[in-house]
Every structure is written in structure tokens, then in C-alpha cells.
Amino acid sequence: MTLFRRYIFSILLLAVALSASAAGKFQLSVSTQTGGDDIEVGEQFYVYMKLDNLEGEPSAPDVPGAVVKYFTLSSQSSSMSSVNGKVTRSSSRTYVATCSASKEGSFSIGPFTVDGVSSNKASYTIVKAGAGSLSKLKQRQQQQQQSQQSSNQSAYSQDPDDQNQGPKFIGKGNEKLFLKASVSKSSAYEQEALVYTVKLYSSYAPIKFIGATEAPKFDGFVVEESDETSTSLHYETYNGHEYATAIIARYIIFPQMTGKLTIKGNTYTVSTDEQEYYDDPYFRMLTVRRPIQLNVTPNDLTIDVKSLPTPQPADFSGAVGQFSISSSLPSSSLKTNQPASIIYDVKGSGNLKYVKLPDLNNLYPKQLEVFTPTTEVNAAAKGLSVSGNIKFDYSFTPLEMGVYQIPEVALVYFDPTTGRYEKSIAKGYTVDVDKGALSEKSQTKNRLKFDDALMPVGKLHMDHISYVYTFGYWLWFILPAIALAVIIFVYRRHLKSAADIVGTRMRKAGKVAAKRLKKAAACMKSGDREKFYDEMLIALWGYVSAKLNIPTSELNRQNVAQRLSDAGASEESINGLLSVLDDCEFAKYAPGSGEDELKQVYERGSEVINSFEDSNLTTK
């Protein structure tokens, strides 16, 4: 009987031991990178949650005195045993919260509860930076780690094709690091400003953004690059996970055609350290960093572009956005044949750089001759669009005396927010034109004063010939008359030349273009690439407009080519001009070019203008 009782008692003890070993446990611990007790402000440390035989999922802990950067499952294991036919299962999971110390003091964390099982409490102390007892040891260890990482990176770069040692390429990304492209609107009007943004999401601790290996493909769009990108990392929760995020690229794009347009993302390269955790019985949780390089591509986007509502107003300027126009006239008292100016200032946001004003020669009185304006653009990609202003400085010349009315000028634009065509009005002016100095006819007459010495002195006699009948006497009249005729001829030619404003502009077109080319050369030397191409375009278009007397509203490739051909320009010169114009237009929105390319464009532009000057173009 005693033996039977001992047997039963042994069985009960074994059952109790098995049940105790299978009981759930929840252990909590805090550790620094070096295993020291003190944590310095700004230092990274870890909170470990070890769950044995528990099924529930712990949530990210709230760590006093610190900011939780990442919370991930670092390791897990399971086992199964059978004793006398009874199967016992056990499991273990370890979660790691990566924290950054932000506040000095003594803190405790826990207890936490999972599946009804509570954890222990863990205490830790945060001291000010540099005051930790192991501060010097940590610095040495960090230097050793950085040295080891550098040597590892060198080893990886030497054999990039080896999958075991070389860089790891992810492609589209994974749950730890990926790029997300977004656009402000998926459906928009033609020429409407849209914002295309590329955002980096990373759960790796240290990352280094290397850059883009290629540019995004904006087929069917005009692009303005914005500098409003992230200069530091921010933390964001996405799909239940916390990531360090940064905006690495932002563009303002303007669709140029209707239909479904696709933006294809480009490839970006990021280098980081991948952390691997090991549960060591002596040193607790060990962390090993392995440098990797990631090539990540954001998602492609499709935008549905709608055409502008029809019918379009006859005076539609092509502007899409929100705009206003104002005018200023320095003086309303003018004189004939003396140039004056009027400035129209267009402000707003949208496709500002492509705004066109109506042909003022069709609006102004015929007695006021208006010339091609000089434009000054002050615009930049900011916020959700391109904002700023553009000034149109028009020169005009009164041809006759009188009082004339400069009419109001309307800027008709399309507002995508209202879906309607809107109008902004620049006020008009009344001008009083007086007679100018160049229009006065000379009334000066040269009067001859005769000296008594011209008269003969002495006694008169029958053979005496009066001085009046001599050639010398009349020579005093002939010479002044010839001189007066020459002066009147020269003066009339001068008046005619001064009144012929168009002819003057045609004759001086080459000199004006040469001044513009000098400005372009100065921009090339200073490295201002965008301003260089603007000056080249102004020089070339301005030369053709002045040389052939073509209004601004009629400046286009076909019209210019036809007028140059009619004026006697060679086909080679015409093709050279169009080629330089195309290169300048394209290069303004293409990736940065080198100094050699700018120099080639400048030389080609100069040669084209010189060829036209040498060919003596004739205009009808």
C-alpha cells in the first residue's frame, strides 16, 4: 500500500511540474547597446518583452522619459515534448522596442498584461549626455563598430554580385523600407497645377539617402521641381506600423494633353544597417548590424486629364489657375514721336510662365503704335503650384497730337477650383499727346549781313563795274544757299528716319540681340543655367521679331520660317535658328547641363544671328 501511494504521489508531482513548466510567463527587461546601467540623454536603448507560452500580442509600450522609434518581433521559438503519452507544447517570443532617451531621471516601466499574465517591473536611469559611467567605453565601442561597418561595406562593394556578401537589392521595397508616390489630384484639367510627391518610409534605425539613379518619367507634363523636401526624418504610423518618413522629391506638374497620363516612378538608392537579434544565455539579447544597400522604386500613378470647358472665350489667355492683372503708366502727358511705356503686372499661381496678353495693337488707338514687350518673370514652385508674378513692359509711340483713351486690358483665365473662366481687368488711361520736338518743322532762315567793305569805295566812273554784277558778290548767296539745302536735306532725312520706328528697330535688331547675348554670356559664366536659356530665347525671338517686323502674337515656328524664307534667308540658317530655339526650350526643363553645352548653344545662336545680318534680309 505504501508503494502504491508513493507511485501515485510521484505521478502527481510530475503533473504539477509539467503544468508549471507550461504556465505562461511575461518577462520585461531594459538594456543599452553596451549593457551598462546608465542611459545617456540622446542614447538609444531597448526594452525587451519576452512572452513564454502566451498567445496574445503585446502593444507598443509607452516608455517614460523616452521616445519609442520602432516596436518589432525580434525572435520566436516553439517546442513540443511527450511524456507517457501526454504531449506538452511550449513557445517563446521576444519583442524589442527601440527607444531614444529624451529626459533625465529615474523611471520604471510595467507591469504589462497579456492573456491575463502580468509582467514584472523594470527600472532604469537616464542621465545627461556624457555623464554615464560607461560613456568612454561606449564611444570606443561605437568607433570600433563604425570601423567594422566601413570595412564590411568595402568588402561588399568589391563583390556586388555575391548574394551572400554583396548589396541587397529590394526593387519595389518591402515592409521595412519602401517609397510611396502620391499626387494632389487624380483627376484634373489640362494645364492645371498638380503636386507629385515621393515619400520614403523606413523602419531601419540609421539610413543614408544616396539619391536617384534616374529621373521620373513625366510623359505629357511640363515639370517645375520644388525644393520643399524634408531636411530631417519624421515618425508616422502607416498600416499599423511606425516608420521614419521623409519627403525626398516634390514636383509641380502641368498636364499638356487630355486622357489618362501615367507617371512612372524612378529608382532611388538608400544605404542602411540591418539589425539581427540573438538571444544569448550569458549576454542577454545581442544586436548585430549588417550594412545593406537598397534600390527602391515608388509606385506608378495614373492621372485622368480633362479638357478645358468649351466653348473657350475668344480672348482666353491660356492661363489656368488663380490670377489678377494690374497696370501702371508712368506719365499720361506724352509727345509725338517720343517713346513711352506702360507696364502690366500679372500675379497669381498656376501656369504663370505661360500667360499671354492680347495683342495690344488691336486694342489701342491707331495713333499709338505698340511694340513687343519686355517680360520679367519672378515665379517659383511653392506649396501646391507655381506662384509669383510676371511683368509685361510695353513700349509705345504716339504718332499724332490729341487726347486718346488707352482701353482696359482683360486677362481671361480658367480657375480649376470653380470650373469656370474668370476675368481680371487692368484699368485704362486717358493720355494727352502734345507736339514733340522731332515733329516741328524748321523755320530758321539764315540772314546775310553785309559789311560796308563789300561796297566799292572811291569815285564812280563810266568804266566802273558795280560789285553787284561780279561773281564774287553772288558767291556770297550761292554758298549759303547750297549749305542751307544740304542742311534741310539731312534734317529731313533725320526726321524721316526718326519717325520710321519700325525701320529703326529693324536696323538696330542686330545690336539689341548682341546686348542680349552678352547678358547670356554673363549668366553662363556665373553658372545661372535657367537665366542663360531665358536670355538666349529673348535674344533670338526678339531679333526675329524686330528684323522681320513680326508682332509677338504671330511669333511661331511656321510663321518665322516662312517670313525668313520670303526675306531671302538660306534654308541652312532657318534650320539653325529653329534648332537653337528647340534646344533652349527643351533644356529649360531638362536635367542640368554642363558648361560645354551652354557654350555650344551660345556659339550656335551667335552664328545664326550673324548669318542673318550678313545675308541682308529684305522685308516686304
pLDDT tens-digit series, residues 190-234:
999 999 998 888 877 666 666 676 778 888 888 888 877 877 778
Q: Which residue reads 520643399 in cell numbers?
A: 228
Contact partners, residue 211, CB within 8 Å, separation at least 6? 268, 269
| 33-37, 154-158, 572-576 — most confident range | 572-576
The mean-pLDDT minimum among 433-437, 464-468, 599-603 falls in 464-468
Examine the domain organization and report whether 112 and 29 are in the same domain: yes
Grid coordinates standing for 86?
501526454
Model confidence at 283, pLDDT cuts 50, 70, 90, reads low
What is d(CA 517, CA 511) in angstroms, rounded to the nearest whole number? 10
DSSP string, 426-486: E--EEEEEEPPGGGPPP---PPP---GGGS--S---TT---GGGSHHHHHHHHHHHHHHHH
Grid coordinates standing for 19?
503544468
According to the model, what pLDDT value does residue 134 have? 43
Higher pLDDT, 19 or 504: 504
Residue 338 lies in a domain: yes
Is the separation of the CB atoms in 360 and 448 below 8 Å? no
Which of 30, 29, 46, 40 minimizes the C-alpha distance to 101? 40
Mean predicted confidence (pLDDT) in 147-170: 36
Examine the domain organization and report whether 327 and 429 are in the same domain: yes
Examine the domain organization and report whether 425 and 339 are in the same domain: yes
Give the dihedral sign, CA 519/525/527/533: positive
Examine the domain organization and report whether 220 and 286 are in the same domain: yes
> What does the radius of gyration of the chain's CA atoms come to, in whole angstroms?
43
Examine the domain organization and report whether 212 and 272 are in the same domain: yes
According to the model, what pLDDT value does residue 143 have? 46
Pairing of strands 38-40, 122-127: parallel
C-alpha to C-alpha distances, 371 to 335, 405, 540, nearest whole angstrom: 17, 18, 16
User: What letters, b where the CB count within 10 A reaches 16 and e where it falls short, cover 405-438?
Assistant: ebeebbbbbbbbeeeebeebebeeeebebeebee
Mean predicted confidence (pLDDT) in 441-453: 40
User: pLDDT by residue (tens digit) across 62-116?
Assistant: 899 998 887 888 777 777 666 666 767 788 888 888 888 888 999 999 899 998 8
Residue 161 lies in a domain: no
Q: Which of 277, 305, 333 is the last residue of a domain?
A: 305
Residue 585 lies in a domain: yes
CATH code, domain with 579: 1.20.120
C-alpha to C-alpha distances, 204 to 31, 69, 257, nearest whole angstrom: 19, 10, 41
Residue 165 lies in a domain: no
According to the model, what pLDDT value does residue 75 have? 74
Residue 148 lies in a domain: no
CATH code, domain with 271: 2.60.40
Higher pLDDT, 152 or 454: 454
Helix or strand run (H / E) with residue 218: strand 217-218
According to the model, what pLDDT value does residue 137 have? 42
Could you give phi then psi for residue 612, rounded to 5 degrees? -70, -40
Is the separation of the CB atoms in 323 and 358 below 8 Å? no
Cα angle: 144, vertex 148, 154; to 5 degrees: 145
Structural domain harbouring 286:
177-305
Examine the domain organization and report whether 269 and 321 are in the same domain: no
Is the separation of the CB atoms in 426 and 411 below 8 Å? yes
Q: Which of 286, 305, 324 is the last residue of a domain?
A: 305
Cα torsion through 184, 187, 191, 195, rounded to 10:
10
Which of 321, 342, 355, 331 minimizes the C-alpha distance to 395? 342
Residue 271 lies in a domain: yes
According to the model, what pLDDT value does residue 327 have? 93
For residue 171, is pLDDT > 70? Answer: no
Average pLDDT of every residue of the chain: 77
The runs of H, that is alpha helices, within 58-170 are 135-158
Contact partners, residue 427, CB within 8 Å, separation at least 6? 326, 327, 408
Q: Is 528 exposed, middle or buried (0-12, 13-18, 19+ CB in 10 A)?
A: middle
What is d(CA 192, CA 253) in angstroms, rounded to the nearest whole number? 8
What is d(CA 368, CA 538) in angstroms, rounded to the nearest whole number? 24
According to the model, what pLDDT value does residue 63 have? 92
Higher pLDDT, 277 or 318: 318
C-alpha to C-alpha distances, 115 to 56, 59, 91, 121, nearest whole angstrom: 6, 12, 14, 17
Examine the domain organization and report whether 372 and 288 are in the same domain: no
Model confidence at 344, pLDDT cuts 50, 70, 90, reads very high
Q: How many domains does the chain have?
A: 4
According to the model, what pLDDT value does residue 412 have? 93
User: pLDDT by residue (tens digit) across 230-278?
Assistant: 777 788 888 878 888 888 888 889 998 899 999 988 888 877 777 666 5
According to the model, what pLDDT value does residue 503 have? 60
Higher pLDDT, 556 or 140: 556
Mean predicted confidence (pLDDT) in 144-172: 38
Q: What percent of the chain has pLDDT over 70?
A: 75
According to the model, what pLDDT value does residue 592 have? 61
For residue 607, is pLDDT > 70? Answer: yes
Mean predicted confidence (pLDDT) in 277-305: 73
The mean-pLDDT minimum among 34-38, 374-378, 418-422, 470-474 falls in 34-38
Q: Which of 438, 461, 483 is the last residue of a domain?
A: 438
What is d(CA 355, CA 224) in angstroms, rounded to the nearest whole number? 16
According to the model, what pLDDT value does residue 157 have? 31
Residue 495 lies in a domain: no
Is the separation of the CB atoms in 580 and 604 below 8 Å? yes
According to the model, what pLDDT value does residue 590 have? 67
Q: Which residue reads 558648361 in cell numbers?
A: 595
Model confidence at 154, pLDDT cuts 50, 70, 90, reads very low
Which of 589, 613, 614, 600 minimizes the C-alpha distance to 224? 589
Examine the domain organization and report whether 564 and 579 are in the same domain: yes
Residue 185 lies in a domain: yes
Grid coordinates standing for 539?
535674344
Model confidence at 438, pLDDT cuts 50, 70, 90, reads low
The mean-pLDDT minimum among 9-18, 333-342, 520-529 falls in 9-18
Model confidence at 411, pLDDT cuts 50, 70, 90, reads very high
Examine the domain organization and report whether 352 and 423 are in the same domain: yes
Examine the domain organization and report whether 299 and 350 are in the same domain: no
For residue 448, is pLDDT > 70? Answer: no
How many Å from the N-terminal Cα to the C-terminal Cα in the chain? 135
For residue 18, is pLDDT > 90? Answer: no
Examine the domain organization and report whether 255 and 290 are in the same domain: yes
Examine the domain organization and report whether 425 and 397 are in the same domain: yes
User: 3-state class of 496 per DSSP?
Assistant: helix
